[in-house]
Amino acid sequence: MSVEPSLDQIRTVADNVQVHKFGGSSLADAFCYRRVARIVTEYAGASDVVVVSAAGDTTNRILAIIKAQKESGDTADILLDQLERFQQGLILELLGSEFAAPILEQSTVDFQRFRDFVAGKEIIEHEAELLSYGELWSARLLAALLRKQGTKADHIDARDFLKAEDAPEPVIQELESRHNLLNRVAPFPGTRFIVTGFIARSLNGESLTLGRNGSDYSATLVGSLLNSKQVTIWKDVAGVYSADPRKIERVVSLSTLDWSEAEELARLGSPVLHPRTFQPVDRDRMVISVRSSLKVENQQTRIGNFEHTEPKGKVFTSLSEIVLFKVELNDRELVKQLEVLDLTPLVSWTEPEKHQQYLVFHQNHLNYISHWLDRINAGNAVTQIHGYSMVALVGNRIQETDQYNTFKLQLGEQKVRRFAVSEDGCSAVAILEQKLDSRLLNRLHSQLFNYRRSLGVLVIGRGNIGTAWLDLFRQQRDRINQVMDVRVIGIANSKKLWLDYSGVELNEWQAGFDRLSRPYVLTELLRELPNAPYDELVMIDLTDAKPVAQLYPSLFANGLHIISANKRAGSAEEALYREIRTIQHEYKREWLYNTTVGAGLPLNYAINDLRGSGDEIRSISGIFSGTMSWLFENFTDGVKFSDLVLEAKKRGYSEPDPREDLSCQDLVRKLLILAREIGLKLDWEDISVSSLVPESLRDISASEFLQRAHELDEPMDTMLKEAAKDGNVPRLLASFSVSEEGRVSAKIGVEYIPAGDMLANLIPGENIFVIYTDWYSEMPLVISGPGAGKHVTAGGVQSDLNQLLAKLTVTG
């Protein structure tokens, strides 16, 4: 029983209720249904209306059953069994036995009607009656899934409110339909209504379908009836692009389109937009948003009445197959009938000297026009001409743009049959006497849209270094973007991810992360990232996580470059390290990791420069750890070593667990990275290591270790006093050397050094690397400087990013 809504309720609907539409591909299987349910829960308002299509290829399956029913054999029964298993399988998988029972009962009744139809027990004259079940099943199931998840939801069969006069394009009875819909929706705020798209009810009570792209049209129609401010059409693409991404490389998504631009693009055959979608729209009030249901975080395209739009070519579109109809103007009756044809040609022109008119149509309209010409007995007065194609540039006031001149100039080398500008000035269209190929399309697009190359940055690790680097990047962003369009598209810790393909807001990113981050699994994210709308992608790994390092081969294989402050990959077991290197080279990805040894010091760059110049490195020794440098330089008589350890942890100098430093495990990683950098096959067991962590503190938790850190004091005091007997001081040194015969020796441990030696008099936290080579054999090359600290390391990460941009700019 409907409840008559009040005027206030109707106004509330108009001001607050938006409409969302999901097509069949968005509801193809159980996984897709769950994704749509999440979108409806998180991105739709509590009272919003959702219009849905039939799941997957359900409509085509029903058409196949209808066709098979007219033929002999059991094909129709087989197809019907398959459809029933598919639909009821969805119900059981999504709802479980408890919630599924009432929906399964309704489904069984529906399929019994299909069986009666197939068996000839029930005559159903209009196929729309059967086709309507596809949308009805989708609406029922999505509403039930939302209810199971705790969301207040119900479904509406559009035939209960949408009344139309039967015609090739049904004529909607707006007043009655609006009244019916508002009666159903307005009195029930807080309920998400799931509405069937594609279908309506005729004036004599029969089911009607709304034709091709009927669900998109249904969405804007429902929005118009409710007087909504916005309709969001969720598709498998992130809005409208500068060209079809299936044909053109390096397209970009458009943030806005004016109504006239969008309608012209739809008229010219856009696969994303259909002309009927715009018919019901109040252009002064409504905005249509086109978003991706596969990648919700992607940029969307908003279509509306945007003032002060500058002349600009926005979209390059093409049709590989079009049909020219040549009309003999001597047949005046035919010409008069063509004037009332309810299908607008892409382009038309007259050649008076030949008494001929040419009409150009999309290949998809060929059958419709051919049947129409047969009905009016056009005979030989109309000739079809094939083998033509179309390219067009769409944008507001197109003739005022530089792109218009470029478009005409570039087409000068092609076989152009006709070049025309649309009446409203929103497109320039060229009809070509040739087939299209990808090289031509990509060349035209690149000439028309000279975009900077783009780099999407995913930051894993939002601790001290991550925070410092994000602040540094924000400060330097304008300078960096002069080289490439670089955007941070994701920030993650071990459990949550904030992902936004249009770029996260960095001014208050901590608050944004807290509000917008969601649980994620990195292996699942890898399947999505390659489709991000960027020319290049880089992951900046600011963790100390072994699981992240183990995914480096997959990251490279999925097209990502890596900047790493994580030492786990460079120091991995030899087999994994070789796999990482092999996959990196195979996929031609960059891996920059200068901060893994020496924080921000240009150590790796110096080593690579020496080797690239023909020198051979014979040994590297010194103090490789900024943490251990800080500890030992501050460790003097009367100072407790444990107090220094706790202070280093507090300042962020040490690893999260200081035992990584004290046990020399972190130094082993650095030594391995350096040795492998010069081509040595060194593994963990090849290094002699003396740990500073007593046996009693090795296997306890990190928190317990910090509480018992005072147990370090006695052995360390003994070491300090023993060194002082000979005027020495203890320092933790690391070294490796290569003999003339190629034998490698490597060790890490405390050595007693004369108090006046340069290794004993560093600034606390300073690293020093003493490098002997064939060229630097008598006097070594010495590189020293800060080896710890979040700002120094962040600067090193930024240096790696600059190096990456330089490489990509050259290769791009």
CB 399 within 8 A of CB 428: yes
Q: Which of 359, 432, 361, 423 is nearest to 392 (CA)?
A: 432
What are the residues whose beta carbons fall under 8 Å from the beta carbon of 363, sequence distance 6 or more?
A: 319, 321, 322, 323
Q: Report the distance separating Cα 358 and Cα 338, nearest Å.
A: 11
Is 319 strand, coil or helix? Answer: strand
Closest CA to 15 of 44, 42, 48, 39: 48
Q: How far apart are CA 644 and CA 765, in angstroms?
A: 12
Contact 454, 808 (CB under 8 A): no
CB 455 within 8 A of CB 805: yes
Catalytic site residue 229?
no
| Eight-state DSSP code of residue 643 | H
Torsion angles phi and psi, residue 386, rounded to 5? -110, 175
One-letter identity of residue 273: L
Query: Which amino acid is it at 493?
Result: N
CA 440/CA 411 separation, integer angstroms: 10
Task: Tell me how far apart the alpha carbons of residues 75 and 68 are, in angstroms, rounded to a whole number.
Answer: 6
Residues forming a β-bridge with 163:
201
> How many CA atoms are closer than 13 Å to the CA of 728, on its beta-carbon side?
14
Q: Given its phi and psi angles, is residue 157 left (phi above 0), alpha (psi -120 to 50 degrees) or beta?
A: beta
Q: What is the 3-state secondary structure (H, E, C) of 470-503?
A: HHHHHHHHHHHCCCCEEEEEEEECCCEEEECCCC
**Residue 568 dihedral angles phi and psi, to the nearest 5°:** -70, -30
Query: Which stretch of DSSP H or E encloses residue 634?
Result: helix 626-634
CA 441 to chain centroid, in Å, comes to 24
Parallel, antiparallel, or unpaired: how do β-strands 301-304 and 256-258 relate?
A: parallel
Q: Tell me how far apart the alpha carbons of residues 280 and 666 are, in angstroms, rounded to a whole number.
A: 66
Active-site pick, 314, 670, 721, 725: 670
Question: If you search the block for the tokens 């600059």, which residue do you land on?
Answer: 802
Beta-strand relationship, 496-499 and 485-492: antiparallel
In angstroms, the CA 485 to CA 62 distance is 48
Q: CA nearest 433: which of 387, 391, 392?
A: 387
38 CB neighbour count, 10 Å cutoff:
14
The catalytic residue positions are: 670
